[in-house]
Structure 1
Amino acid sequence: MKFFILRVLLVSVLIFLFFAQMSGITVIAENSPIKGSVTEYMKNPEKFEGNDIESVPNKTESERSNQLDIGILDVLKMVAALIFVIALLYLILRFINKKSQSYQQNRVVQNFGGTPLGGNRSIQIVKVGSRLLVLGVGEDIRLLKEITDDKELEDYIRQYNEQHTQNSQHVDVITKWLKRKKEGFTKLSASSEQPFHLILKGELGEMRKNRKTVLDELELGKKGKNKDE
């Protein structure tokens, strides 16, 4: 799953860079201001002495420099494209994660994982219904052990569920972060819409409450000392 995510990220970045480079390519074409052909110039060179040939490259260079300038709008377009690619990747990964979880839960046979031993041989832990089997996979498949201890069986199932929960939590980190940002932005916009005198009044009210609380604590402390004396 991790290698698949890395592949998707790499392909998306390459696509983004490709379109970013394509958006910066411009084609400049103009008609040459020099009239006549090479044959006419060879026959009558005096006729072309008045043409300003050296001014043409300068003009095209200035136009190219103007065309290659990157403005704020281009930067905003690139940022918007990057945000779109990241959002698309996030939605794809979340969809794949949900599908894989539902598929694993609905399957009768579930692979809990395994370890390679070399030479195309490995040990796999497979759950078939309510039974947990340890299989040796090589040229053929052999049953090495069946886990019948209830406590050991529950431990394997708990570890498997925790692993899937952690994977789903990694995907939901972006959702939680976006939700916090949205709530902060909503509070900020709500406070900015209030008039200044209401905000000041609220702050002064909080200060009065805090001051009253401190004074009450001091009075209680003095009364306690007087009683002790």
Structure 2
Amino acid sequence: MSKMFKHLAGLLIVIILMNSFSTTVSAEDPSVNDCMEEGINCEKLETQDTNTENKNTVLTDQEEEGSLIIELIKMFFALVLVLGLIYLLLKFLSKRNKLFNQVKALENLGGVSVGQNKSVQIVRVGNRFYLVGVGENVELLEEITDQEVIDDLVSKNTSTSIKQVSGLSGFFNSISNQDGKEKQDFNKLFSSELEKLKAKRNHLLQQRKDKEDSHE
């Protein structure tokens, strides 16, 4: 009796397993051939295709959004680089202008040697004239205040001083004019690049908006 019960239980288990296997096979999604040949579960197949297309559309939108973010980051770093170059250029021009002002305010009117590696020099600082001794150290000997002496010194060194100062002034003026032109050209180039970046950004945003509208 117990053996018969065991056989029946085993047979029942086999039948249950076979039914489960057949149910699993029948629950599999129909293929395109099944839909075309037998016409079964075509609606389910169409639904799956629609879901796949929607997933692909979502992935495409995410990729486009990531590309837009990358482009915006690139534009930001390009703008930072351009601003940094402008800052360095302005700093360089400021140093050059300071050097030019120092050259205009200081002038050596000449001197005479009084020994080995020693001399006496007349130096103009602004509108004042000084007599200095140059050796191991530079010492101020006195300030020249006699107007007749000043006029005599200036008249004797007029031709040389005018040529030197004019040549130096002309040199720095030409550099200054060239720098002004370069600065103006650089500003135009900078404005042009900014306009290009803005136009590119607006184009990307418009493309994204158009695609979102078409998906809706």
TM-score exceeds 0.5: no
More helix by share: 2
Calculate the TM-score normalised by the size of structure 2.
0.31
Calculate the TM-score normalised by the size of structure 1.
0.30
Larger Rg: 2
